[in-house]
Structure 1
Amino acid sequence: MDKNVLLQQFEEKFGEGGDIRTYFAPGRVNLIGEHTDYNGGHVFPCALTLGIFGIARKREDNKLRLYSANLTDLGIVETSLDDLVPSDAAGWTNYPKGMFWTFARRGYKIEKGMDLLICGDIPNGSGLSSSAALEVLTGLIIKDMNGFDEVTMVDIALFGQYSENNYNGVNSGIMDQFASAMGKKDNAIFLDTNTLEYEYAPIDMPDAKIVITNSKVKHSLVDSAYNQRREQCEAALRILQKNMDIMTLGDLSIAEFEEHKDEIKDLVMQRRAKHAVYENQRTIQAVAALKKGDIAEFGELMNQSHVSLRDDYEVSCGEVDALVDLATSVSGVYGSRITGGGFGGCTVSIVKNEAVDEFKEVVGKGYQEQIGIEAEFYVVDSGDGAKKL
C-alpha cells in the first residue's frame, strides 16, 4: 500500500491541513501454541508485514469520524466520545471505539475526537488477526496523539485484549494483540501468557519458507464456539484444582495431567483440557527444536498440533483439514496446521524453498477439486510490531 495514496484519500475525505500522522500495525501468524493463551500456556507467534495502516488527525470537538478504504460503501462512520457503546450496526468501528472506551476506563481522559482513515491488506476473516491489529493501531494512535507517554506497547496489547473481551464480547487471550504490538523482524515471540515473560527467537530457516494458505471460509460460529471452549477449559481447571495446587492448565506437565485427567468426568471437557496441556508442552519443545536448527522436529510438532486441534479441541473444519492433508502430501513440507481461532481461516506450513511452487500447485489444485474453492497463498516474512511511520 502506498502511504502517499492513503494520505491523498484522507485529505479527500476529511480535508487538508493540520497535524496528519501515519501509523501501521501488523497482523500475525501463530506458528504453534493455539488456544493456549487463555489457559496460561505458551504461544509462538510472529508479526507479519501484512497489516493495517492508519492516517489520523486530532479534531477540535469530540467527534470520531472513521473511514475504511477497504469498505468504501460504508462511507464515513460518525460517532463521538460520548457514544462509546458497542452495537451490531457499528460494524468494524466497534474495534477503534472499544479502544477509546478502554483508555477512558483505565483513567486516561480523552477530550478531543479524531478523523481516522484505515486501510489494510490482511484478508478479512482469515484468522491473521485483523481485529487485534486494528485495536493495537488505534491504541498507538491514542497514545501518540494524546501524549500518553507512560503507556507502553505491552499496555496497548493488554488494552486491546480488554477491549476485545469486554467491549466486543470475545473472550480471547493476549497473543494476537501482543504479537501485533511487540513483533520483531525475523523473529517469533516465545511468550508465557501467564506471566507475560517473553523472548524473541530468531526464525532461522534459510532453506524454508513460511507459507500461509487461506481456505477462504469462515464459519459464523467462531466467536460463540471460542467462548464455549474457554468456558470448558475453565470448568476443567476448577475440577483439577480441587486436588492440585495449580493456577492454570498451563501449569501442568503431561504426566501430571495424565495422572489426574479422570477426575474430569465429562469426556469432551477432558479432551479440551488435554489439548491445552499437550499444546503448551509442544510449543516449548518446538521453540527448543528451532533454536537447535531442527526444522523437521518443529514441523512434526506442528502436525501434532493440527491433529489435536482437529480431534481434541474440535476447532478445525473440513475445508481446513483438506488443506492440511494436501500440504502434508507434498514431500518438501516439514509441517502444516490450522492457525488462529479456527472454524475456517488459514493454515500455516513450513515448506522447503525448492518445494514452494509444487506446494501451491498441489494444494491449490486439490483444494479446488475437493472443495470447489480457490485457495490463496501468502509466502510471508516476519515483521516489526506497530509503529508510527
Structure 2
Amino acid sequence: MISVQELKERFYREYPECKGDVLCFFSPGKVNLVGEHLDYNRGCLFPIAISLGIYGVLSYRDDNIIRLKSVNETNEVIIDLNKEINFDENDGWGNYPKGIIYYILKDRHSLRGCDILFISTLPSEVGLSSSAALEVLTAYMMLYSENGETLDRFYLAGLCQEVERDFIKANWGHHDHIPIILGRKNNGIVLNCSTQAYKYVPLDFKNYSLIIINSNKKRDLAHIGHKERQIQCNSAFKTMNSYKNVENLWEADLDDIYRIMKEDTVISRARHVIWENRRVLRAVELFEKGDIEEFGRLMIESHKSLRDDFEVSTEELDLLVDESIKTDGCIGARMTGVGFGGCIIALVDREKVENFKNRVAKVYTEKTKLVPEFYVSEIEDGVKLLLEA
C-alpha cells in the first residue's frame, strides 16, 4: 500500500498553495470469491475487500469550496456548497463524489470546504467496483469531521446505494458497497441479499496467493447483457411462483424448474442461480474446514456455470481461466464481476506466481493480441483512516 508520507507529498505537489494539515484515507475495491449474479436474485454473495483501491487525501479550507483532483484523471471538479449540485456529463468521474455530496447535504449534514486528491491503484470499469470504492471513500471523508470512527456504516451503505441508483442512474452493483464499507482483513463476508444479514468468514489461503487478472477486454455490452439476465431471471421466478410458492428463485427445486419451464435459456439462467447459491454455502463450509484445494475446484465449477448457463463470459475470460488452470501451481480460477469482459481471479501457489504470470500472459497475448494485467491481492479492511506507520 502507499505510505501516508508519500500520499502527503503527492497532495502538496498537486495543491502547492495548501499549507494545512491533511488526513489520509483508503477505500478498497472488491471481488466476489463466488456468488455471481445473485444480488438481484436475492441470493447469497461471498465478497472480499481487496488491497487494490482508492486513496483520498483531504485538507480543510476556510470557505465553502470543495476542489476534487485525481492523479488518474485530467479534469478538476469544483463544487460550491452554496450552489445547487447537478449531474454533469462533462465532469465524468467527478459525478460520483458530487452525488455523494449532494445527498449528504440533502440529509441535512453540514460540510466543510476542502481540497481532495484521489489516487487509485484500482483499474476502472473492469468489475472491481471502482465507482463504489470512490463513492464510499468520498462519503467517509466528508462525514469524518462530524462522526470520526463512530460513523454509521449502514447509513453509509444506504447513502451510496441511493447515489448509484438515483444520481448516477446505474441499474447494477447496489451491493458492491457492502464489502468496501464492512470489509475485514483476512475475512470474507457472506451477505444474504434477501434479508441483508451477513457474517464474517475467516479466510486462510494457506500457501496460495489471490491473483486478479485484468483481461483488458472492454465490457461494451455489459449493461445490456445484465439487464437481459435480470429480465430472464424475473421470468423464471414468476413462472416458478405460478406453480409453487417460493420466496426467491434460488430456493426453487431443479426438478420443478425442468418440469414447468419451457424455454431452454430461462432454464439455464435459473439453474445457474440455484447452483451458484449452493456454491456460496459450500464455499463457507470449505473455508471452515480449511479445504482450500476443494474451494479451487468450486471456483472452476462457478466459471463453467457463468460461461455455459448464464452466458456472461467471453472468449478472453475463458482463455484466461483455461490457461490459468492448465498452469502449474493454480488450483482454481473464475471470472469475477458482471462479466462480458473485465477480470478473472485465480488461486496460485506463492512460489510459482512469477512462472504463472509469464506463461498465462504469453499464451493470452499470442491468441488475443491483448496484454493482461496481473495483481497479487491481499484481503483488506473496509474504508478507513490511514495513520502514520
TM over 0.5: yes
Say whether the 8 Å CA contact 1:186–1:382 is kept in structure 2.
Answer: yes
- SS of 1:86's partner is coil
Structure 1 partner of 2:199: 199
Query: Are 1:187 and 1:382, in contact at CA under 8 Å, matched by a contact in 2?
Result: yes
State the partner residue of 1:48: 50
Map Cα deviations across residues 97-137 of structure 1 (whole Å, 9 max, x no partner).
122233345x2334544322111101223321111111110
CA distance in 2 between counterparts of 1:369 and 1:220 reads 22
Which range is displaced more, 340-349 or 215-224? Answer: 215-224
Please show how residues 299-338 of structure 1 align to structure 2 within 5 Å: 299-338=296-335
How far did residue 242 of structure 1 move? 2.8
Give, as a single letter, the amino acid of the residue that structure 2 aligns with 1:130: S
Aligned counterpart in structure 1 of residue 68 of structure 2, from 42, 46, 66: 66
Provide Cα deviations, 1:155-203, integer angstroms capped at 9, x if missing partner: 2123222222222222224442111111111111122122222222122
- Farther off after superposition, 225-234 or 184-193: 225-234
Q: Which residue of 1 aligns with 2:41?
A: 39
Contact 2:125 2:219 in 1 (8 A): no
8 Å CA contact retained: 1:36, 1:42: yes
What is the CA–CA distance in structure 2 between the aligned matches of 1:195 and 1:229, rounded to whole Å? 22
Partner SS for 1:344: coil
* Residue number in structure 2 paired with 1:375: 372
Alpha-carbon distance in 1 for matches of 2:143, 2:243: 45
Residue segments in structure 2 that go unaligned for 5+ positions in a row = none
Corresponding residue for residue 85 of structure 1 = 86
Partner residue, 1:286: 283
In 2, Cα distance between equivalents of 1:155 and 1:200? 20
Give the structure 1 partner of residue 225 of structure 2. 225
How far apart, CA to CA, are the structure 2 residues paired with 1:102 and 1:377?
36
1:295 aligned partner: 292
Identify the range of structure 1 (219-228 vs 91-100) with the bigger mean alpha-carbon deviation: 219-228
Change (3 A) 1:306 1:150: same
Distance in structure 2 (CA, Å) of the matches to 1:304 and 1:9: 44
The sequence identity of aligned pairs, in percent, is: 37
Q: 1:66 to 1:262 in 2, by over 3 A?
A: farther
Task: Show the 5 A alignment for 1:12-161.
Answer: 12-14=13-15, 15-18=17-20, 20-71=22-73, 73-74=74-75, 76-81=76-81, 82-105=83-106, 107-110=107-110, 112-147=112-147, 151-161=151-161
- Asked if residue 209 in structure 1 is aligned to residue 218 in structure 2, the reply is no
Q: What do you get for the CA RMSD once the two structures are aligned?
A: 2.3
Distance 1:224 1:164, change over 3 A: farther
Identify the range of structure 1 (221-230 vs 8-17) with the bigger mean alpha-carbon deviation. Answer: 8-17
Contact 2:35 2:277 in 1 (8 A): yes
Compared CA separation, residues 62 and 233, structure 1 to 2 (3 A): farther
Q: Please state whether the residue corresponding to 2:122 is helix, strand or coil.
A: coil
CA contact (8 A) 1:170 1:223 kept: no
- Give the AA of the match of 1:50: L
Residue range with higher mean Cα deviation, 130-139 or 62-71: 62-71
Where 1:165 maps in the other structure, the secondary structure is helix
1:18 shift after superposition: 4.4
CA 227–12 in structure 1, closer or farther in 2 if over 3 Å, else same = same
Question: Which stretch shifts more, 276-285 or 84-93?
Answer: 84-93
CA distance in 2, matches of 1:83, 1:311: 48
Does the 8 Å contact 1:161/1:172 carry over to 2? no
Question: CA contact under 8 A between 1:180 and 1:385: conserved in structure 2?
Answer: yes
3-state SS, counterpart of residue 242 of structure 1: helix
Q: Quote the Cα distance in structure 1 between the aligned partners of 2:259 and 2:206.
A: 45
What's the CA shift for 1:244? 3.3
Superposition deviation, residue 339 in structure 1: 0.6
**Partner Cα distance (1:236, 1:91) in 2:** 37
Contact 1:38 1:173 in 2 (8 A): no
- By how many angstroms is 1:381 displaced? 1.1
Letter in 1 for 2:313: S
Structure 1 stretches lacking a partner, 5+ long: none
Q: Aligned residue for 2:177?
A: 177
Q: Is the 8 A contact 1:27 1:180 kept in 2?
A: yes
Could you tell me whether the CA contact under 8 Å between 2:183 and 2:380 is conserved in 1? yes
Q: Could you report, residue by residue, the CA deviation over 1:25-78 in whole angstroms, capped at 9, with x for unpaired residues?
A: 11112211111122111111111122111112344544332111111x32x222
Aligned residue type for 1:294: D
Structure 1 residue 339 and structure 2 residue 336: aligned? Answer: yes
Deviation at 1:4, TM superposition (A): 3.0
Contact map agreement 2:296 2:333 (CA 8 A) in 1: yes
Conserved 8 A contact 1:310-1:316: yes
Match of 2:257 among 253, 256, 260: 260
